[in-house]
Structure 1
């Protein structure tokens, strides 16, 4: 099934707060407005978040600002690739008072403040400023949005009451600095990459998914991988694409994932829709949380992607594209 491409702005929800069928599709830019996911309709099922991951030659950085209606879950994680040293702080608070999230992507800042955790995500000319601070670590990174750069925006419809709008924006050139234990390191331009996962929707309570992303250059061209699985099954939507230069190639097929979490360092292989990609991991970021009604288990394996992608007019080869693949199970 080939999902239609959206080419004009459209609202995710209708006047009754249900899924607007005109929004179901995919786009090369974030065209869907999501002001209807405001916590006043279907309270408890609204999920809103901004997740950014930045990989540099020396560090991996991640931040999350999120609201689940009844709680906020905010997180900052800094990983030293040479020593495997981790500085991390996650904060879960009842209610939504500790976060600010834009109604629609790009409409305003995303911010979180909870004790010693502070996050600021602000749109600037030509890109997005990512700032975060926790005890022992902080960073200030600019994720550039090159002219003509395309991202993958998809609406996933489970039903008229349960649906998700996701923007996966990979291969954003990053620059800035990261400070860990009082020592500051550069986030060098041309060698560092940022990835965005923007989400707005109303989710089932129990859900599992795969997500993978990769960013880099090959033969002077930017290569960005975006792959997902399981959570879109049965909806007619997929979140699979490859970025070559600034052009996004949508993969409409469901991909085949092969991996072994009992041996996470073994290669992950993903094939289908012209893509044949293998991730060779060097680190597994394992995390879990169980607060009764709210729980999460994540294995996020960072490594290097290699493989090929058939655009229909050429076969693009890539190797040593930095990124990750993950297996997640949420009850929320």
Structure 2
């Protein structure tokens, strides 16, 4: 389904003075150009999600302001049968002290962003996202339970804790293009999302006395979101970054939530140049076996996307707490197949590390 989306090339306000979607904001851009001037409550959601991967481990940081509460989360996964996985979340009732900007930290004219408690104590999570010359600095600190020796999986044993510290830099090379798009359900329900893939990353993650190095083959992905959402929604999201077929490639795919809006969040970034895919993709997976291979394809005899995703780990969460109910299956794995850029060049994708997820959210 072609969307015939309009490319935005000048800065624009997301909202009109009365809070409705600005018609001039509909479309997509190759760099963040929307000022997300959301006001007040009314199903307003703001978040930053960063995931930085290496061939052996990953770390994800989430800061979200959901109107009635805020969530700060640190997630770390070490791959392999002997690897470790943990997740620590701090819930902030009313979102007090969590302030997310109208524009992405690190872009021209953007203020520095500091979110989370000033001094992490107990089980609290502190996350800092600051713009720096040439990119974005990601820092986090929390305490996490220490697992029994030789244990695998989510850490247990609250009586024994260790400090986790994240200090990473996500570079944004000059000329590197990213995808920003407005998805409009209506004049009062809409989402502005800015998805960044294949941003070179470096730094360290310290878990107790161990240090995980993020270096030459580390890549950062950003999901920056600002909008006003329906009460209940389903979505798919897939992303991957790395070197394959002689190129640096970033994959960004969405599904389900954009249908019927005239917008998509599908794109390929090859060597820093973005190809916008103006059609809905066909997602296939098993809802009873998320570890089975997934496929993501586009239409036509020469499809822009023809990929198989093979998971090796499912980060599965279920929440049903008052106003929020969530079912998330975020599978990490590898993409194989082919994609084509807007010049018709075919790029082989071979074991590109990333994820694919299926989410139902009531919030």
The answer to whether TM tops 0.5 is: yes
Question: 1:60 and 1:249 mapped to 2: Cα distance?
Answer: 26
Q: For 1:315-330, what aligned pairs fall within 5 Å after superposition? A: 315-330=346-361
Aligned partner of 2:262 among 211, 221, 236: 236
Question: 1:222 and 1:147 mapped to 2: Cα distance?
Answer: 15
Q: Whose strand proportion is higher, 1 or 2?
A: 1
- Paired residues in the alignment total 327
Query: What residue number does 1:297 align with?
Result: 327
| TM-score, normalised relative to structure 2 | 0.87
Question: 1:192 and 1:77 mapped to 2: Cα distance?
Answer: 16
Question: 2:135 and 2:223 mapped to 1: Cα distance?
Answer: 15
CA positional deviation for 1:44: 3.7
Task: State yes or no: 1:61 paired with 2:77.
Answer: no
1:67-88 deviation per Cα after TM superposition (whole angstroms, max 9, x unaligned): 1111112111111213231222
Question: 2:59 and 2:316 mapped to 1: Cα distance?
Answer: 15
| TM-score, normalised relative to structure 1 | 0.95
Query: What residue number does 2:116 align with?
Result: 112
Q: For 1:73-92, what aligned pairs fall within 5 Å after superposition? A: 73-82=71-80, 83-92=82-91
SS at 2:7 equivalent: coil
List alignment gaps of at least 5 residues for structure 2.
Answer: 144-161
Q: For 1:1-332, what aligned pairs fall within 5 Å after superposition? A: 1-34=3-36, 36-38=37-39, 40=40, 43-82=41-80, 83-106=82-105, 107-108=110-111, 109-113=113-117, 115=121, 116-135=124-143, 136=162, 137-188=164-215, 190-272=216-298, 273-311=303-341, 312-332=343-363
The CA RMSD over aligned residues, in Å, is 1.3
Contact 2:45 2:66 in 1 (8 A): yes
Q: State which drifts further: 270-279 or 119-128.
A: 270-279
Question: 2:249 and 2:285 mapped to 1: Cα distance?
Answer: 23
CA positional deviation for 1:215: 0.3
List alignment gaps of at least 5 residues for structure 1.
Answer: none
Contact 1:44 1:68 in 2 (8 A): no
CA positional deviation for 1:309: 1.3
